Structure 1
Amino acid sequence: MIGQNLKALRKRKGKSQEDVAIAVGTNRSTYSGYENGVASPGIEGLLAFSGFYDVTVDSLLKTDFSSFSEADWLHFEGSWKKEAKGSSLRVLTAVVDTQNSEVIEMIHQKARAGYTTGYSDISFIKDLPIMQLPFLSKDKKYRAFQIEGDSMLPVPSGSYIIGEFVQDWTMLKSGTACIVLTKNDGIVFKVIYNELQENKGFLLVSSNPVFEPFQVKVDDIIEIWKFVTLISSELPEGGMNSEDLVEGIKNIQKDVRVILNKLSKA
């Protein structure tokens, strides 16, 4: 199927075999062998084709593009927009207290791996520890994620990030700090840059310049929770108080712009 898919995608994009071969770093003879089924691309080749055609490796291997009608193509090419806008309502599993009020489920470090697969499992969600913050809006859904590592300084490792559930990802502004649940990277806390129109995804950036930015496509994202506040049992060196920590998060976007400027000049 991979050969037929490569041919169908190439024709859809209006490219020659030579064009595609150059774009993915191979020669026309090798590429022609892929299309004709004489040879199969390795994982690096699949990733290159995935990036060039802007489709997932899973789609390359399992979706029969050769059978697509024009309507199928239009639906497939526009599916990322529906997913980003949450047109097919995102179903969020949640629990309530004895007064039927929503609570804030806490995903601690040991539960992070389980949440990646159990986010929609009520039996998993109901066993999570819970809390309530009366100053938060009762009309929105919140969840607390414990982070680890130093990629988002000045937020200390072990802090809980309180995030607001985001239904429509297209409304997220660049420079917003968010918890992002992805299929490949699990739970990450990053500053996001909206690249939906250009790349059908987001650029995720750490405030710590040691960590390189990376892109994530819409079809790799499961949930996004916009930063609201944080809870931490420790302060970073220098005696920064909790208000400074929150302010630090709000100013991360300024630091990120500096990082991106340096990267673009490198």
Structure 2
Amino acid sequence: MSFLASNLRLLRKQKGITQSEMAEQLAVQRTMISAYEDGRSEPKLLTLQKLAEILDVGLDELIFHDIEKKGRKASQKRKLNILTIAADEEKENILLVGQKASAGYLNGYADPEYMEGLQQFQIPTLSKNASYRAFELAGDSMLPLVPGTIVIGSYVDQLHQIKSGKTYILVTQTEGVVYKRVFNYLEDNGKLFLVSDNEHYKPYEVRGDDVLEVWEAKAFISTDFPNPGDKKKPLSLEDLGEMIQDIQADLKRIKG
């Protein structure tokens, strides 16, 4: 079954391209673009290839994959945004995104002037082969890390590098800045499954193409010292195994 017409219309709008602009790039009449999107006409192979290039999509996905319902099939392969960094004497600084700054980060993450306004610091023990950013936690969804804890993450430049069961800071268009345990189902349905370590918070999904930045958690800074009598403990391998089984069962129910 071909999803060409609906995919063309959806991807064109997501890219912010008008029918007239697309027609100009293809050197055809605007009415021809309308015909493609209505299913009244199908483009020739050379035109298809150019459409795929303009829309940044593979031919197979463009023609045979229902992007509107299933999300981008190839989203796990795409590279994320070019990272804006801050340097001091040729050493890269760690930028701190506090709770108050996290809302503005969605609009300023690619703006060098915004980045210069954030607090900066360095931790010499971290590997020099990665870029780091620090985010202050706002809630208690990832206990035993309490609100106010600063989580330091290393930059992940491709979504397929996300390892299921690890914790990440995700910067997303729909959920903002979140710190969660992530399970990677991009290859299956183009989505990531986000799980809180605090069982009182329900897991949820985000689409791969909603993700702007990914940071793998590497360290944290907290003024809350652990109490030996505290019953809270990190997830064990057995806990993770049970969590994965529950997630798989949930996904089966969703697909059903």
Give TM-score scaled by structure 1 length. 0.67
Alignment CA distance shift 1:160-1:154 (3 Å): same
* Aligned pairs (5 A) from 1:1-150: 12-13=2-3, 59=14, 65-66=37-38, 69=43, 70-71=48-49, 72=51, 75=58, 77=61, 80=72, 83-87=75-79, 90-97=81-88, 99-150=89-140
Separation of aligned partners in 2, 1:100 and 1:176: 31
Separation of aligned partners in 1, 2:120 and 2:104: 16
Q: Paired residues, what number?
A: 210
Q: Which has the higher contact order (CA 8 A, sep 6+)?
A: 2
Q: Which of 183, 207, 211 is equivalent to 2:197?
A: 207
The answer to whether the Cα contact below 8 Å between 1:156 and 1:236 also exists between their aligned partners in 2 is no
Question: Is 1:187 aligned to residue 180 of structure 2?
Answer: no
Q: Which amino acid aligns with 1:258?
A: E
Separation of aligned partners in 1, 2:202 and 2:171: 18
Q: Partner of 2:151 in structure 1?
A: 161
Alignment CA distance shift 1:254-1:171 (3 Å): farther
Separation of aligned partners in 2, 1:159 and 1:150: 10
Q: Which amino acid aligns with 1:229?
A: A
Separation of aligned partners in 2, 1:112 and 1:253: 32
Question: 1:141: Cα distance to partner?
Answer: 0.1
Separation of aligned partners in 1, 2:238 and 2:105: 31
Q: Secondary structure at the match of 2:117?
A: coil
How far does the alpha carbon of each residue in 1:93-123 deviate from its partner, in whole angstroms, 9 at most, with x for none?
11111x1210000001110001011000111
Q: Which amino acid aligns with 1:133?
A: I
Q: Which amino acid aligns with 1:213?
A: P
How far does the alpha carbon of each residue in 1:18-49 deviate from its partner, in whole angstroms, 9 at most, with x for none?
xxxxxxxxxxxxxxxxxxxxxxxxxxxxxxx9
Separation of aligned partners in 2, 1:139 and 1:255: 32
Q: Partner of 1:32 in structure 2?
A: none
Question: 1:256: Cα distance to partner?
Answer: 4.7
Separation of aligned partners in 1, 2:155 and 2:94: 11
Alignment CA distance shift 1:235-1:203 (3 Å): same
Q: Secondary structure at the match of 1:109?
A: coil
The answer to whether the Cα contact below 8 Å between 1:178 and 1:190 also exists between their aligned partners in 2 is yes
Separation of aligned partners in 1, 2:221 and 2:107: 25
Q: Which amino acid aligns with 1:193?
A: F
Separation of aligned partners in 2, 1:227 and 1:254: 21
Q: Secondary structure at the match of 1:234?
A: coil
How far does the alpha carbon of each residue in 1:204-256 deviate from its partner, in whole angstroms, 9 at most, with x for none?
1111111111111111000000010100111355566xxxx9x83xx377535
How far does the alpha carbon of each residue in 1:108-148 deviate from its partner, in whole angstroms, 9 at most, with x for none?
11100010110001111011001101011112100000011
Alignment CA distance shift 1:254-1:176 (3 Å): farther
The answer to whether the Cα contact below 8 Å between 1:207 and 1:252 also exists between their aligned partners in 2 is no
Q: Identity percentage over the alignment?
A: 31
- Unmatched runs of 5 consecutive residues or more in structure 2: 19-33
Q: Partner of 1:255 in structure 2?
A: 239
Separation of aligned partners in 2, 1:259 and 1:218: 21
Q: Partner of 2:28 in structure 1?
A: none
How far does the alpha carbon of each residue in 1:70-92 deviate from its partner, in whole angstroms, 9 at most, with x for none?
444663737946653344x6311
Alignment CA distance shift 1:214-1:256 (3 Å): farther
Greater per-residue helix proportion: 1
Q: Secondary structure at the match of 1:235?
A: coil
Give the RMSD, CA atoms, in angstroms: 3.6
